[in-house]
Amino acid sequence: MDIDGKYYRSFKKRLKMLDDQHSKERAKKQHDKGKLTAFERLDLLLDEGSFEEIDAFVVPDTLGIEFGKVEKHFGDGVIAGHGKINGRLVFIYAQDFTIMGGSLGIVHANKIAKVQEMALKMGAPIIALIDSGGARIQEGIASLSGYSTIFNNIIRSSGIIPQIAVIMGPAAGGAVYSPALMDFVFMTSYTSYMFVTGPNVVKEVLNEDVSFEELGGAEVHAKKSGVAHFIYDDEENTILGLKKFFSYLPSNNVENPPKIEDTNETPDINKKLLGIVPDDPNKAYDVKEVINNVVDRGSFLEISELFAQNLITGFARLEGKTLGIIANQPKVLAGVLDINSSVKGARFIRFCDAFNIPLLTFEDVPGFLPGIDQEHSGIIKHGAKLLYAYSEATVPKITVILRKSYGGAYIVMNSKNLGGDFNFAWPTAEIAVMGPDAAVTILYRKELAESDDPKKLKAELVKKYRERIANPYVADEKGFIDEVIDPAGTRKKLITAFKVLTNKWVESPSRKHGNIPL
């Protein structure tokens, strides 16, 4: 071909038109609001030079316009394609707010659907960078059908390839269901928001004044609703966080996650673990200290850190291999289980189970949160979710009981008979139907009422109870615990245990799907 010939020249001319569309003025509109452009976000996230765009030149379907006008722009407000993150193939689409507010028209939706289908075919993860004003009113119901296609695709791929949504701008009305259906949601503070019904409608219908931020900002979703799993102060950190998180995931539900070499050479025996759980059962401690001293140093990445803080979920690595961690946090609400934490835990467990990520549970739970509020809001069925998720999971499951483990909560947190593969306990473990205080009050009510010094008697009885029942050795002797271990050697024990479980496979009975309480 002649480089100066008409074929090549028109090819180059068209490319230039696309370039010109992504102009400095357009970029400035985003930058002035503290946001990056779609291309800049892709550039930050993907390995240099790895991005291959598809359907860059599609234009909106003008025939389908029912009302109003639509500007003709290349791409129809979304940039889609594939690239690599740290050398791994990923499919991705990034909505472009500078083109018609990133609104979703039928062409826009079809492009997204294309990438989704490719991701499913190739067994590669898909990431959505969302920054959109919502459905394109001009195109009427066609835009809504666009959303339906997208949602359908997400559901078809659910549990087969990891799907991550990153909210970097508005996501309102129907648009929020994409992130809701995907596996993990990242949000950037202040410049993004998610809600089903916006402040204007809220004002109209309920006469309540509320700002975008208050109704559905990042903080709300990270702390109150739990919809956002990660929030960051700005877009660059959001993307850096996403990259980091991504390295823990497998590409699909058949492969294992990539192995990251433990460059810190975490020691197998760690005496620090002896000094974390206090001997006094009423003293709180931070279970994250336990986690950080067992897994590969620096590898613990917490998920939903600000939501239901009484239960910790996150990924970590043991000898470079990804693990899912669940732990009760005694520092918050004494580590009890409640509605929010049960749901948080259940969803996380099911993700790990779908994607063959082994589960490690650290247990120190005195029970479920009592109260009218919890009971009336259905702690019964929500608590059952956690129970269901643990039992349903067929990945390797190991539990380490650190301290308290009473009653129903003992059963729920991956007990032996619920399907725990290995159940270990620390010497500080207290495994019982009920805590010593409550048990003594019930069993010795008469004696305590008749005693001259009930406080002293109670203290003695509690001590006896602790010695005879609420300790790990009784459970050990009966086989409900596999072994009481030396805390300092926890890591070594777990490495060996998980190695043994590498090829674990359990047949699930054949059925369409179970009926998890919802």
- Contact residues toward another protein (CB under 8 A) are 31-36, 40, 43-44, 48, 86-88, 190-191, 232-237, 239-241, 244, 247, 250-251, 253-261, 263, 275, 279-280, 282-284, 320-321, 330, 332-334, 336, 356, 366, 371, 455-456, 459-460, 462-463, 502-503, 505
Active site residue 409: yes
Q: How far apart are CA 450 and CA 332, in angstroms?
A: 37
What region, left, alpha or beta, does residue 234 occupy, with left being phi > 0 and alpha being psi -120 to 50 degrees? beta
State the catalytic residue, choosing from 174, 216, 217, 226. 174
Of residues 67 and 505, the one with the C-beta less far from another protein? 505
State the catalytic residue, choosing from 81, 83, 134, 173. 173
Q: How far apart are CA 459 and CA 455, in angstroms?
A: 6
Q: Which two tokens stand for residue 189?
A: 């503070």
Q: How many residues does this entry show for the chain?
A: 518
Residue 384 beta carbon to another protein: minimum distance, rounded to whole angstroms: 22
Of residues 5 and 298, the one with the C-beta less far from another protein? 298
Of residues 201 and 459, the one with the C-beta less far from another protein? 459
Q: How far apart are CA 299 and CA 87, in angstroms?
A: 20
Of residues 148 and 502, the one with the C-beta less far from another protein? 502
* Contact indicator for 99, 77 with CB cutoff of 8 Å: yes
Residue 466 beta carbon to another protein: minimum distance, rounded to whole angstroms: 10
Strands (E), 86-160: 88-95, 126-130
Pairing of strands 430-432, 422-425: unpaired
Q: How far apart are CA 118 and CA 449, in angstroms?
A: 72
Of residues 197 and 237, the one with the C-beta less far from another protein? 237
Of residues 199 and 250, the one with the C-beta less far from another protein? 250
* Contact indicator for 107, 71 with CB cutoff of 8 Å: no
Residue showing tokens 């739970």? 365
Residue 254 beta carbon to another protein: minimum distance, rounded to whole angstroms: 5
Pairing of strands 88-95, 78-85: antiparallel
State the catalytic residue, choosing from 109, 142, 218, 409. 409
One-character DSSP codes across 446-489:
HHHHH-SSHHHHHHHHHHHHHHHTSSHHHHHHHTSSSEE--GGG
Q: How far apart are CA 25 and CA 163, in angstroms?
A: 32
Scored b (16 or more CB within 10 A) or e, 120-147 reads bebbbbbbbbbbbbbbbebbbebbbebb
Residue 249 beta carbon to another protein: minimum distance, rounded to whole angstroms: 10
* Contact indicator for 516, 389 with CB cutoff of 8 Å: yes
Amino acid symbol at 371: G
Q: Which two tokens stand for residue 240?
A: 């850096």
CA atoms within 13 A on the CB side of 518: 2
Amino acid symbol at 321: K
CA neighbor of 401 nearest in space, from 367, 438, 362, 434 = 362
Of residues 177 and 190, the one with the C-beta less far from another protein? 190
Q: How far apart are CA 28 and CA 37, in angstroms?
A: 9
Residue 239 beta carbon to another protein: minimum distance, rounded to whole angstroms: 8
Of residues 93 and 230, the one with the C-beta less far from another protein? 230
* Contact indicator for 245, 220 with CB cutoff of 8 Å: no
Q: How far is CA 16 from CA 11, 29, 57, 74, in A?
A: 9, 21, 12, 12
State the catalytic residue, choosing from 101, 123, 407, 408. 408
Residue 15 beta carbon to another protein: minimum distance, rounded to whole angstroms: 22
Active site residue 320: no
Active site residue 241: no
Active site residue 222: no
Residue 408 beta carbon to another protein: minimum distance, rounded to whole angstroms: 16
Residue 234 beta carbon to another protein: minimum distance, rounded to whole angstroms: 4
Residue 277 beta carbon to another protein: minimum distance, rounded to whole angstroms: 14
Residues labelled catalytic:
173-174, 408-409
